[in-house]
Chains A and B, each alone.
Chain A
Amino acid sequence: MCGVAGIYHKNKENIVNQQTLKNMVRLLHHRGPDEEGYWIKDNVGLGHARLSIIDLSSGQQPIHNEDKTIWVVFNGEIFNYVELRHELIAQGHSFYTKSDTEVIVHLYEQYGRDFVRYLNGQFAICLWDDRKKELILVRDRVGIVPLYYTEQNKDVIFGSEIKAIIAALDTSPVLNPNSLDQLMTFWSPISPNTLFKDIYEVSPGNMIIFSGKKEVIQYWDWSFSNKDSYLQGTDEELAGTLHDLLIDATKIRLRSDVPVGAYLSGGLDSSVLVSLIHHYSENSLRTFSISFEDKGLDESDYQKEMIEHLSTQHSQIFCKNSDVGAGFLDTIWHTESTILRTAPVPMNILSGLVQKQNYKVVLTGEGSDEVLGGYDIFKETKIRQFWARNKNSQIRPILLKRLYPYLDISKKQGLVYLQNFFGAGLDAPEQNIFSHLPRWQTTAKCKDFFSNDLKSHLSDNAVDLINNTFPEQFSEWESFNKAQYIESKSLMSGYLLCSQGDRMLMKNSVEGRFPFLDHRVIEFANKLDPRVKMKVLNEKYLLKKAMQQYLPKNIVKRYKQPYRAPDIAAFYSGNTPEYVEDMISNAKIADYGYFDPKRVERLIAKIKKGRAIAYKDNMAFVGILSTQLWHLHFIENFNKNFSFNTQLSASIN
């Protein structure tokens, strides 16, 4: 991966300031520490911070076509570039590098805006067509690689991270209150919103063309088959197709001129990937994992089993609760967003380990749960649907206990609380958002801490808004598929791939690659009957069937453990970091103005008494602290951070 940045002044007389572009790129130094590259022509400038992975010697960006009328900066990987290159050469194009980036300019020459449909990869592409005087920004189908932009005073400013954009702005950024309201419901703002007012992401699967006007094209979206058009075949046949697709998706993701490693959590998904690398590639097996002080979060035993099973060369790093507390401050500089869990911090520690071992690329199992039906929320949806058919049943909701055994406090009590929590929306099981209502209602409790001032700036109901974002055919899909759509488009792209994914990898200049998010795998899985993805309550049934031959039985049969990190415990189980005391002090809460100081004070008092064990208290605390830190980094201290980071990158170069 790399970092991209650029400026397009729609007013032709307005020449791009080279220093501004350099400042933008230097803030992205962590994404691409190997080289910087620039191209400026009058009112357009493209900048690039390079992490060299393919064509180390001649792949410097920006890259142009034969007559230098098309220029591109690109962050990501085109995994099918080998095949595309052959085809384009046969069609008469000449290449001056061996990089995957150059494929983009020739594909664009060949197919125009449709070029993106030919790409299998993860990418943020910024392309300038000097003949048409058009700027094209494109992002990959599911949102693996970030890309942001703002339009202000006839200028378009864009970059891989928002900090690069802020560096080019004349005014300080401000919070978009509605985005925070959405984030504290769905875990991320509704795309294309970001936490920053007037700064947007290029939504996954979208292309935006800026010329005189702005045109948005959605070239891809998650789309599911209807009940009467699911793929036909026996379970064995379907598992066979999935098996072959995953092998190819993994193999093309091992294409690289530097060695590729893999994350190994001990769960099914990463074990599948590591097994496929072992069986179907020449790559030596290099794996990385994290272990936790809190035994409830630790998966070391399963990791050990896979390491022994495949004899991988493995590195593990141990994460103490206090490491999470200490790393949280810097993490928010990279997430550029409020987060409701500390889970990104250990991912940052893990990519730090990868970097120390001189690896730049890792394969990782994200996306499998969304694509192949692994999450508890999908099971929950199935059970609640079943229960909704007979709302008064005392027996049907008991199935929920299989999902959440820890909620079983005592027989009768446990059931009543389960019924109350999961009973939300039971009157309308056909409604679009049925699957996610219980989770959203719990998350929204964070908003009880909003200050009156912030509340007065809220204009829209978050749930109404998300309801309007679904595609036309959405209502025809089965609930399971609706849940997959919502999960993939909100939590996965907005949080997992972003705050917990790209940002934590790139902070340490490590590129993640995601075979389960190969669009061919997704498109195949989306045509399946949900009952094959999850057989009764057996999650990822087809994946297990396709891959069990490579895995120890324990890994296939194990209870799925969601990845978690210590939340409140990271800050209050030993010495509380000084910055935390400062950020959640009455004075700072009042000063920044987003939250009600008195309510926050009571939450902190409860935490200090050791009584804040509820899930929603943990979310509220992490959400409040991260929002405060977001303000500190990007509003109060941005100029300080800016000079520190640009000087740092200048001294390294």
Chain B
Amino acid sequence: MSLEEQIRGYVLENYLFTDDQSALNSADSFLEKGILDSTGILEVIYFIEDEFNVKVEDDEMIPENLDSVNQIVAYIGKKQGS
């Protein structure tokens, strides 16, 4: 399973409670679509840290890194590459 599929699967299962792939595009903004609220983002951070062995620093908790499947994929790629 690709990183993108893994993250999409997680968001679909835990926030949209569905396996309908059409419910979420990888570029969709979680904020704009009302998928995540401020407590929801904590859960996403737990997920990223647990599953991908990445430590999310305070100043990285910004929508530019975490607000869509694509952004999370890019963020994890950057962290794992660094």
- Which of B13, B16, B19, B39 is the one whose CB lies under 8 Å from A615? B39
Chain A residues contacting B32 (CB-CB under 8 Å) are: 420
* CB 8 Å contact bits of A271-291 with B (1 = contact, 0 = none): 000000000000000000000
Contact A616 B37 (CB under 8 A): yes
Contact A417 B34 (CB under 8 A): no
Chain B residues contacting A615 (CB-CB under 8 Å) are: 37, 39
Give residues of chain B (24-65) contacting chain A, Cβ–Cβ below 8 Å: 31-32, 34, 37-43, 46-47, 58-59, 61-63
Name which of A23-31, A88-96, A218-226, A599-607 contacts chain B.
Answer: A599-607
Chain B residues contacting A606 (CB-CB under 8 Å) are: 13-14
Contact B37 A448 (CB under 8 A): no
Question: Distance in Å from the Cβ of B6 to the closest Cβ of chain A?
Answer: 16
Complex Cα gap A445–B13 (Å): 15
Chain B CB count within 10 A is highest, among A410, A420, A613, for: A420
Question: Distance in Å from the Cβ of B12 to the closest Cβ of chain A?
Answer: 9
- Which of B16, B41, B59 is the one whose CB lies under 8 Å from A448? B16
Chain B residues contacting A613 (CB-CB under 8 Å) are: 39, 42-43
State whether the Cβ of B21 lies closer than 8 Å to any Cβ in chain A. Answer: no
Contact A417 B37 (CB under 8 A): yes
- Which of A407, A417, A442, A603 is the one whose CB lies under 8 Å from B17? A603
Which chain A residue shows the least CB distance to B41? A417
Chain A residues contacting B40 (CB-CB under 8 Å) are: 614, 616
State whether the Cβ of A640 lies closer than 8 Å to any Cβ in chain B. Answer: no
Chain B residues contacting A413 (CB-CB under 8 Å) are: 41, 61-63
Question: Distance in Å from the Cβ of A309 to the closest Cβ of chain B?
Answer: 37
Complex Cα gap A490–B34 (Å): 24
A418-B38, A441-B34 are known contacts. Are A611 and B14 too (CB-CB below 8 A)? yes
B interface, by DSSP: helix, strand, loop or mixed? helix
- Which of B18, B42, B43 is the one whose CB lies under 8 Å from A598? B18
Contact A414 B59 (CB under 8 A): no
Number of B interface residues in the complex (CB < 8 A): 23
Complex Cα gap A409–B41 (Å): 10
Contact A407 B42 (CB under 8 A): no
Question: Distance in Å from the Cβ of A436 to the closest Cβ of chain B?
Answer: 16
Contact A449 B17 (CB under 8 A): yes
Give residues of chain A (374-419) contacting chain B, Cβ–Cβ below 8 Å: 407, 409-410, 412-414, 416-418
State whether the Cβ of A421 lies closer than 8 Å to any Cβ in chain B. Answer: yes
Which chain B residue shows the least CB distance to A410? B58
* CB 8 Å contact bits of A408-452 with B (1 = contact, 0 = none): 011011101110110000000000000000000110010011000
Which chain B residue shows the least CB distance to A412? B62
List 5 additional A-B contacts (Cβ < 8 Å) besides A598-B17, A602-B18.
Answer: A410-B59, A413-B62, A414-B38, A602-B14, A613-B43
Chain B positions within 8 Å of A, measured between CB atoms, are 13-14, 16-19, 31-32, 34, 37-43, 46-47, 58-59, 61-63
29 sampled A-B residue pairs with Cβ under 8 A? A409-B41, A409-B42, A410-B59, A410-B61, A412-B59, A412-B62, A413-B61, A413-B63, A416-B62, A416-B63, A417-B41, A441-B34, A442-B37, A448-B17, A449-B17, A596-B17, A598-B17, A599-B18, A600-B17, A606-B14, A611-B14, A611-B47, A613-B42, A614-B37, A614-B39, A614-B40, A614-B43, A615-B37, A616-B37
Closest 8 CB pairs of A and B: A599-B17, A417-B38, A413-B61, A614-B39, A602-B17, A410-B58, A420-B31, A614-B40
